[in-house]
Amino acid sequence: MEIDKNKDISRRSFFKSVSIGLAAAISFILGFPFIESVVTKTKKVANKIYSKLAPVRSIPNSFAPIENPSKLHFVQTKEDAFIKTIAQEDVWVVKKADDEITVFSPICPHLGCRYSWNEDQKLFICPCHNSVYTIEGKVVSGPAPRGLDTLPIKIKDEKLYVLYERFEVGVPQKIMIGN
Partner 1 sequence: MASKIRLWFNERLSFGSMFQSAFDEDIPGGSSFFYALGSATLFVFALQVLTGVWQLFYYVPTVDHAYDSLSYLRLSVPYGWLIQGIHYWGANLMIVLIGLHILRVFVWGAHKKPRELTWLIGILLLLLVVGLVFTGAALPWDERGYWAAEVGTSIAGTVPFIGKWLIEFLRGGESMSQLTLSRFFVFHTAILPGITFLIVAFHLMAFRKYGSVGPWQKSKRLKTGAFWPNQVGKDLIISALILILLIGLSVYSPAPFTGRADPLDASFQPKPEWNFLFLYQTLKMFTGSTELIGTVGIPTLIILILVLVPFIDRKKDFNPLKRPGMMIGGFVFITGIVILTVIGYYSKPPGSKSSAKIVKKTEAIKLSSSALMGKSLYDAHACSVCHKMSGQGGVIGPDLTKEHKRGRSKDWIITQIKSSKKHYPHSIMPSFTMLSDMQLNNLADFLLSPHAKAPSALANSNLPNPPKPSSNKTQEPPNNYSPGVNATLATKLTSEALAKLNPPGAAADIIGNVAHGALLFRLNCESCHGVKGRGGIPNPGSFLGQIPSLNPISKKLFSKSPQEFANNIDRFIQHGSLPAGRNPVLKMFDYGDSHTYTQPEIADMEAYILYLNGVNRAKIEVPGSAPKQFFMFSVAIVLLVVVILLIIWAFDKKKN
Q: How far is the CB of 45 from partner 1 (least distance, A)?
A: 8
DSSP codes joined into one string, 116-155: EEETTTTEEE-TTT--EE-TT--EEESS-SS-PPB--EEE
- Give phi and psi for 117, each to the nearest 5: -95, 125
Toward partner 1, which CB reaches closer, 49 or 64?
49
Give the one residue of 5, 64, 65, 82 binding partner 1; rule: CB under 8 A.
82
Q: What is the dihedral of CA 24, 22, 32, 35, to 10 degrees?
A: -70
Bridge partners for 84 per DSSP:
79
Does the footprint of partner 1 cover residue 84 (CB under 8 A)? yes
Of residues 1-60, those binding partner 1 (CB under 8 A): 6-7, 10-19, 21-26, 28-30, 33-34, 36-38, 40-43
Does the footprint of partner 1 cover residue 85 (CB under 8 A)? no
Please count the residues of this chain forming the interface with partner 1, following the rule CB under 8 A.
35
Angle at 119 between CA 114 and CA 123, to 5 degrees: 60
Give the one residue of 2, 64, 65, 81 binding partner 1; rule: CB under 8 A.
81
Residues lying near partner 1 in the complex (CB under 8 A) are found at: 6-7, 10-19, 21-26, 28-30, 33-34, 36-38, 40-43, 77, 81-84
